[in-house]
Amino acid sequence: MHLDFSILPRFADALAYGLWLTVRLTLICIVTGGALGFLLALARRSGSRLLRAVSTVYVEFFRGTPVLIQLFWIFFCLPILLGVELSSFVSGVIALTLYTGAITSETFRSSLGTVGREQMDACVALGLPARVRITSVILPQALLRATPTLLSNAISLFKESSLVSAVGMADLMFVGQNISNNTARPVEVLTAVALIYFAVAFPLTRAVAVLEGRILRKLAV
């Protein structure tokens, strides 16, 4: 077997294009999915039974089905039901946002639970109105506590986003597969793609560990 890694530089631009799409998709869905997840977490802890029921069913459904089928459904079924064409990028964003929302809502839910009742007592004793309680006391603490897990969620999303290649989005995975097929050099190309994913994800996982230590130290009361 003869391995020739020198073919790779020719495809650097294509791979960079694929990585850029992967990164964009991930970043957008972290923000939209994170926002959705926070609202879902509030809904799951709300006093309204209806809100709790709807949000719970939603979260359980998206956690309980494969991301791949969710992607296919959004790509192929949603346009039929809505009667509108969606660009593949928009479909990808919608699908991964819905999925990330379900995952991060669990993260937010547990971090909201760690902001104790005593903090609420202090808020009341200081006369803080509900809006200030949430924005200045509950949310910052919940966010700080959730940050390490949210970053882990983001890293997972970065990797899981490779599934969009299955519906034809030209992300890093898709580009890599194409090059590998056209050059008939799967070992060189797919190894390179795996290393590119790793090169982005690994520093982030290290950053999570460092951040976790700092946050825990700061919030230890």
For 137, counting Cβ atoms within 10 Å of its Cβ (0-12 exposed, 13-18 middle, 19+ buried), the class is: middle
124 contacts another protein (rule: CB under 8 A):
yes
- Out of 122, 187, 195, 204, the residue judged to bind another protein by CB under 8 A: 122
211 contacts another protein (rule: CB under 8 A):
no
CA distances from 33 to 36, 41, 71, 109, 138 (A): 5, 12, 15, 14, 20
**139 or 200: CB nearest another protein:** 139
CA gap 103, 185 in Å, rounded: 36
- DSSP letter assigned to residue 46: S
User: 164 near 96, Cβ under 8 Å?
Assistant: yes
**9 or 129: CB nearest another protein:** 129
Which region among 78-86, 127-135, 160-168, 190-198 touches another protein (by CB under 8 A)? Answer: 127-135
Map residue 47 onto helix, strand or coil: coil
**47 or 129: CB nearest another protein:** 129
**What angle separates helix 186-219 from helix 12-44, to the nearest 10 degrees?**
40
User: 170 near 18, Cβ under 8 Å?
Assistant: yes
66 contacts another protein (rule: CB under 8 A):
no
85 contacts another protein (rule: CB under 8 A):
no
CB of 218 to another protein, least distance (A): 6
Q: In the stretch 140-169, what mask flags binding to another protein with x, by CB under 8 A?
A: xx--x-------------------------
CB of 124 to another protein, least distance (A): 6
Q: How many residues bind another protein (CB under 8 A)?
A: 21
Q: Around 182, how many Cα atoms within 13 Å sit in the side-chain half-sphere? A: 11
CB of 138 to another protein, least distance (A): 10
Which residues make up the interface to another protein (CB under 8 A)? Answer: 118-119, 121-122, 124-129, 132, 136-137, 140-141, 144, 217-221
